[in-house]
Amino acid sequence: MAGKVFFSVTMSLDGFMAPEAVPVEDVFSPGGQNDPKVQRWMAKWSELQAWLLAQRWFRENLKLGEGGEEGLDNDVARATYERTGASVMGKRMFEAGELAWPEDAPFHTPVFVVTRTKRDPWERPGGTTFHFVNDGIESALLQAREAAGDRDVRIAGGAETIQEYLDTGLVDEFSVTLAPVLFGTGIRLFDRVDPDRLALAQTHTAASSRVTHLTYTPAKR
């Protein structure tokens, strides 16, 4: 049996899943670290993801050192990873990650990148291989499903890629981790989704002292 197609993101209380976009080469270059725009971006991103950065499982997976919190949030982070047999992402997320991820990229499964750039598969240590798909989101999903087997496919991001999959009815389930921060501006999760075509059913909710985890199943109206 094929697994589910899902996404899982952290969102600010006012609906943003990322700060306003800045050039990825600025964020991850030594010169860019002194740019006030980059500093604001990093501060906002760190505040949004503070719950995840503190978890023992996340720290171990990215080899950030020993220690970290255990409990509900740690279990959610681990379960998201363990259910994923393959991931799909857009070009922008890959380009940022290519600069930021360690050599042993944190996925440890096949990743399918939706892009117009033609490129041979890029194999990394630890089981992650990036495949570059040039013929659209449905083709990327089909290849990811085949690679994942009976495990789930995660639409990893960024926002535009998630919105495309959601708006075309290809997502079976999604989770939003609601963080108690306010951005005011930034990249909204649902900006390009047609609300007249989409109905949501809330299937699960759980809260820790840091964040609230909300799970939904989408359906066409």
Residue 42 is assigned to a structural domain of this protein: no
| Distance from C-alpha of 86 to C-alpha of 147, rounded to nearest angstrom | 6
Report pLDDT for 214.
Answer: 98
Can you give the residue range of the structural domain that contains 156? 5-20+72-220
Residue 26 lies in a domain: no
pLDDT at 208: 97
Please give the pLDDT value at position 37: 85
* 212 in any annotated domain: yes
109 within some domain? yes
How many residues can be counted in the chain?
221
Task: Say if 53 falls within a structural domain.
Answer: no
Per-residue pLDDT of the chain (221 residues; tens, 9 = 90+): 579 999 999 999 999 999 988 877 777 666 677 788 888 988 999 999 999 999 999 998 888 888 999 999 999 999 999 999 999 999 999 988 888 888 888 899 999 999 999 999 999 998 999 999 999 999 999 999 999 999 999 999 999 999 999 999 999 999 999 999 999 999 999 888 888 888 999 999 999 999 999 999 998 87
Rama region for 157: left / alpha / beta (φ>0; ψ in -120 to 50; rest) = left
Q: How far apart are CA 201 and CA 81, in angstroms?
A: 23
- Can you give the pLDDT at residue 30? 67
